[in-house]
Chains A and B, each alone.
Chain A
């Protein structure tokens, strides 16, 4: 059993059984993190290129550790999309990479669809590490792993995703992943940050925080980007924090065993009060630890087996 595609670009295209496989594999990978010598020889001789065209220390580090623990050679290429625009196009970069025969290219890009472009141009396995407001599949998978670990299962759980849904790739990937695994999802945030037609993704929309978090098993708070004010999407950070910030008082409306999640980095005091971020409900650091395991699982599943050329 393996994954069907050569790439991992969208949670949208995964079968529930594939998600199960990734989570099971990741769970087995976690043991490696507890060892004195955190290294297995599985990907010896394989090359993983981390192509990060949008800054992200966390995700890049997570992928880098995942690759290194599996003994792959990991090369980091970073830059910004704008510098790529000025000098070399993404397609040029892709063709240059292809000439160096990497086994896997992990791409982070500020624009939706960039991984699709790469996947069409390269034989290597492409892993989407976040493309614009489109998807961030490894984040959703590590979130699912964290929830499953804490709750023992996913099917039938209720989650609320709160904040800037419109601009969030984390929200999109999680909505797909949670729905596929039998969870119910409510999204909540200011109406200006709820994208049109979001209900067609199979979620409910709430316009009040208390309403959204009542009775749910998981509350996922999204990071609010400061630039949303300029586009007149919200009046001020102060008003956002007042209406949509999760405080201990508000948390009283939630279940006693609720999990608080955040993809990081947290704007403490904006979407999440510091005492909530550090509370016993918070699993934010478990998310980070699980990130490495999920990325190891994906590297193993995508490039651990037959070389792409020889594959069917």
Chain B
């Protein structure tokens, strides 16, 4: 199925401003960095988590630990996918128990990925609190899940897709909406 770009939603400065704002909000809500950890959901959530960590360091002068979560083993749709997802490593080099863990992902949609990520994190220990940060919330939730920090709320149609392009993976920073080619 081919898709064509319908609109650009965020450009590079737009993404950066959104992440800066999220960093500030995280600090406000958590009252500083002690006990704070960021966990990015593969693949683009990991880059976003690293960027937020850099901003936290710039603001507070403290390094916040960043982990990487692969939710493949927790997905509820393995039996429905045409292609089996490639499993990648989960690397969370700190104990999660007692921490405030901020899950970071690029796009929040049905909520199923976050459900899987919550299960995965809780298998690793007992965090004091889990929060959710997303760059884009495009709506259409299928589970009672709500983000704590949002870069941009973006009303979309189901047939559309939202693509977050990041320079670490795609060589450019922008967010676009695509729709199926007519």
Contacts and interface: CB of A to CB of B under 8 A. Distances in A.
A–B contact, 8 Å CB criterion (strictly below): yes
Interface of A: 1-2, 21, 24-25, 27-29, 31-32, 35-37, 39-42, 70, 297, 300-301, 304-307, 310
A32 B82 CA distance: 26
Contacts of A1: 83-84, 86
A27 B89 contact: yes
B79 A305 contact: yes
Contacts of A297: 87
B90 A31 contact: yes
Contacts of B87: 24-25, 28-29, 297, 300
A265 B154 CA distance: 61
A70 B73 contact: yes
A301 B73 CA distance: 11
A300 B73 contact: yes
Contact of B86 (A25, A37, A41): A25
Q: Binding site of A, secondary structure by majority: helix, strand, loop or mixed?
A: loop
Given A1-B83, A29-B87, A305-B78, 17 more contacts: A2-B84, A24-B87, A28-B70, A32-B73, A37-B123, A40-B73, A40-B123, A41-B73, A41-B74, A42-B72, A70-B73, A301-B84, A305-B79, A305-B81, A305-B84, A306-B80, A306-B81
Contacts of A36: 124-125
Interface in B113-142: 119-120, 123-125
A161 B21 CA distance: 60
Contacts of B81: 305-306
A27 B87 CA distance: 9
Contact of A304 (B83, B84, B124, B125): B84
A41 B118 CA distance: 13
A220 to B, nearest CB: 27
The 4 closest A-B pairs by CB, nearest first: A2-B84, A305-B84, A40-B73, A42-B73
A300 B79 CA distance: 11
B119 A41 contact: yes
Contacts, number: 57
Interface in B76-112: 78-84, 86-91
Contacts of A28: 70, 87-90
Interface in B49-79: 70, 72-74, 78-79
A37 B122 CA distance: 10
A2 B89 CA distance: 17
B126 to A, nearest CB: 10
Contacts of A21: 86
A307 B80 CA distance: 9
Nearest to A302: B84
A199 B73 CA distance: 42
23 contacts: A1-B83, A1-B84, A25-B87, A27-B89, A28-B89, A28-B90, A31-B89, A31-B90, A31-B91, A36-B125, A40-B73, A40-B74, A40-B120, A40-B123, A41-B74, A42-B73, A297-B87, A300-B73, A304-B78, A305-B84, A306-B79, A306-B80, A310-B79
Contact of A39 (B72, B84, B123): B123
Nearest to B91: A31
Contacts of B70: 28
A218 to B, nearest CB: 25
Interface string B12-54: 0000000000000000000000000000000000000000000
Kindly name the residue among B74, B90, B125 whose own CB sees the greatest number of chain A CB atoms within 10 A. Answer: B90
Nearest to B92: A31
B86 A24 contact: yes
